[in-house]
Amino acid sequence: MEWPVLDEYEKLVFRMNTPRVVIDNGVCASATIVKVDSARKHGILLEAVQVFTDLNLSIKKAYISCDGRWFMDVFHVTDQNGNKLTDESEISYIEQSLGTIYHRRANDYRGLTALELTGTDRVGLLSEVFAVLADLQCNVVEAKVWTHNGRIASLIYVKDCNSGSPIEDSQHIDRIEARLKHVLKGDNDIRSAKTTVSMAVTHTERRLHQMMFADRDYERKPILQLSADSPIVTVQNWTERGYSVVNVQCKDRTKLLFDVVCTLTDMEYVVFHATVNTTGDEAYLEFYIRHMDGTPISSEPERQRVVQCLQASVERRASEGVRLELCAADRVGLLAEVTRTFRENGLNVTRAEISTTMDTVLNIFYVTDALGNPADPKIIEAVRHGIGFTNLQVKELPLLHDEKAEQEEEAVGAAGAVLLSLGSLVRRNLYHLGLIRSYS
């Protein structure tokens, strides 16, 4: 059977717009090079970066350049241990995912009910939330919890404990919303506590950024003083070229580029050119941006807002506290019991990632004391004793670099020190794309 003319045209358009992906393990000794050429579209950079984020890969360097309607992106990628990618199935998955980013769907949570919660953070809040869900016969399958500047945002995916199906009964949903909102209000958060029950399919971590942005966490004063590790963000206008130039300098970590690009995208800025460099444990990011209508940042209040929002985007995922990993057989009420033990010992959960595979749960918690200071090791051991030493373990974060990779890194100046000329930036990107021999 022959394809109709319209279908042939659609197939041609698809082929013309399908990104070209090249993955090379031979060019760089310390990282896998991933090159992506794609038609320009708002959010396409975020979609590309999201592929690496979902695989927990580290982007050590990146060169992004837009030429008219086409993007040229180069990423230097490693695994969490700083090694090149060698798993052929993983490489094939990356190639396939990047080649179909125009048609990617958000995380598929069909069959689960999504609970979105925002409110004022306090010690024991998470314990109360999970206790309510257990009492209402809701089984938590997946969840992510972020805290920042005294606020909490959580996206929790649940199903009915009895039927194993999504929760669709309107009366049951009303009870869940009412009780969770009551918990989130506490004694002094009557207006800002929010609960929403939906069948959302938005990318979970992007949605968390959106929830905290809507909650205006970036405007709230943190309880503690800013530390030396706080991100440095500068925004300047390059009037001659019509760009706003954003520089971010902070500690390197996985998913850093995603967090920054996600915020810029959701604030409706377009990234035309960008460079990312890491040296040791420091990251330097530079973006040349405009509004979607092609204009740069136009006022001082807007500039300050961009600075605040980007600082918040970096800080939300900051790994404050001791990292505890719980691996155990799944059962109703497990999360409520574990978080109650944290609360009874005065531990506050600053971030959490909860996942379920088959009948096993893998939960990651970052905990501090009630004031946000490092938790007493004796208290941590007491908590582990109460929950089970084999089930709850203290885990260190994997190193993002090693000595060999550090020696091979080029010397990189502070990203905010000077503005690079656009011509130099484009030549550098063309060099890393292999289109010219030298950009010096």
pLDDT digits (tens, 9 = 90+) for 22-42: 999 999 999 999 999 988 888
Report the C-alpha gap between 291 and 116 in whole angstroms.
29
The CA R_g of the chain, rounded to the nearest whole Å, is: 23
**What's the mean per-residue pLDDT of the chain?**
84
Report the C-alpha gap between 430 and 66 in whole angstroms.
11
Q: Under a CB-based contact definition with an 8 Å cutoff, are residues 113 and 197 in contact?
A: yes
Give the closest residue to 75 by CA, choosing from 18, 31, 38. Answer: 31
Please name the residues in contact with 237: beta carbons below 8 A apart, sequence gap of 6 or more: 243, 244, 245, 296, 297
pLDDT for res 8: 58
What length does the chain have?
A: 440
DSSP structure class, residue 165: S
Written as six digits, the tokens of 422 are 């656009």
Query: Percentage of the chain surpassing pLDDT 90?
Result: 63
Please name the residues in contact with 279: beta carbons below 8 A apart, sequence gap of 6 or more: 406, 409, 410, 411, 412
The HSE-up count of residue 108 (CA atoms within 13 Å, CB side) is 2
pLDDT tens-place string over residues 319-359? 679 999 999 998 888 999 999 999 999 999 999 999 998 88
Q: Within 10 A of 106 (CB to CB), how many other CB atoms are there? A: 13
Q: Within 10 A of 415 (CB to CB), how many other CB atoms are there? A: 24
DSSP structure class, residue 397: P
417 pLDDT tier (thresholds 50, 70, 90): very low
The Cα-based distances of 105 to 30, 108, 166, 233 in angstroms read 32, 7, 20, 32
Asked if pLDDT for residue 268 goes beyond 60, the answer is yes
Query: What are the residue ranges spanned by the domains of the chain?
Result: 19-105+230-315+403-432, 113-221+320-394
pLDDT for res 233: 97
Q: Within 10 A of 179 (CB to CB), how many other CB atoms are there? A: 17
Tell me how many helices (H) and strands (E) the chain has: 12, 16
Report the C-alpha gap between 116 and 196 in whole angstroms.
5
Please name the residues in contact with 384: beta carbons below 8 A apart, sequence gap of 6 or more: 392, 393, 394
Report how far apart the first and last C-alpha atoms of the chain are (Å, whole number): 56
Q: CATH number of the domain at 113-221+320-394, please?
A: 3.30.70.260
